[in-house]
Amino acid sequence: MNITNFMRQAVDRDRVYDFMIPPENPMLNVGHGCLLYLEGISVSFDGFKAINDLNLYIKEGELRCIIGPNGAGKTTMMDIITGKTRPDCGSAWFGQNINLLEMTEPEIAQAGIGRKFQKPTVFEHQTVFCNLELAMAGNKNVLPTLFARLSPSQIDHIDYVLKQIGLSEQRGLLAGALSHGQKQWLEIGMLLMQNPKLLLVDEPVAGMTHQEMDRTGELLTSLAGEHTIILVEHDMDFVRSLAREVTVLHQGSVLAEGSMQKVQSNPQVVEVYLGEEAC
């Protein structure tokens, strides 16, 4: 039997694979309103302490901005949350009952944590719509992926995300033809297709026009509440425009925390990071 005949017998081409919107993780317990707990986290690389007794608590539904100088530990912190880096000591909990340090990177993603890196990574030779379709949670085995057709509920979900990220009019456009800002929004949309509870977003406005920055701020603000967002950003004007709670990292630990007004008036923060920016 050749492979074509085998595939025809193995899969009904008219079958609709109804990969519904993934539900929230039923195991996740956010009973006290705190979604992420990092306590006593430390990690060293070749003798350099990238994270030093870090304690961080993120409430469910909040948009938390993380700022700090280069080398403060911001990227390493996100690596620990997503399972890319294992700390030397400490604990990391998602909700009250999901121990992130006992999980692999794919397991953490499936539990409801999504990460967007600074440089957008999209399928440039596919349409905007297809990028979101490819990002949809579901059966990614070869045969279902080759022959699956979208169900009405899936199409509605993609259209909803397109509206969220402001790319409804570009749904049939190749992703490679999008502006830099639009590619950033598309990648955020690809994460949203997985229905994450927690979004880690790394410097999304780098290289954007002022108009794109404003739109990105509106997008992230609109997502907060339904999702919890940790935003790492260096552009202080952007941070001021949307941050209610700011955490400043320095030498791998929390230097200051609170409102932007409180943080930028902190003498230690001014000395190690903001400088004249705070004046």
| Positive or negative: CA dihedral 16, 21, 23, 24 | positive
> Do the domain assignments include residue 114?
yes
> Do the domain assignments include residue 70?
yes
pLDDT in tens, 145-184: 555 678 888 999 999 999 999 999 999 999 999 999 999 9
Range of the domain at 72: 25-278
CATH number at residue 260: 3.40.50.300
> Do the domain assignments include residue 16?
no
Residue 6 has pLDDT above 60, yes or no: no
Residue 250 has pLDDT above 70, yes or no: yes
> Do the domain assignments include residue 159?
yes
The DSSP bridge partners found for residue 221 are: none
Q: What is the 3-state secondary structure (H, E, C) of 196-238?
A: CCEEEEECCCCCCCHHHHHHHHHHHHHHECCEEEEEECCCHHH
> Do the domain assignments include residue 39?
yes
> Do the domain assignments include residue 75?
yes
> Do the domain assignments include residue 6?
no
Indicate the pLDDT class of residue 33, thresholds 50, 70 and 90: confident
Closest CA to 159 of 145, 172, 142: 172
pTM of structure: 0.84
> Do the domain assignments include residue 237?
yes
Tally of domains in the chain:
1
Indicate the pLDDT class of residue 52, thresholds 50, 70 and 90: very high
Q: Which residue has the higher pLDDT, 229 or 121?
A: 229
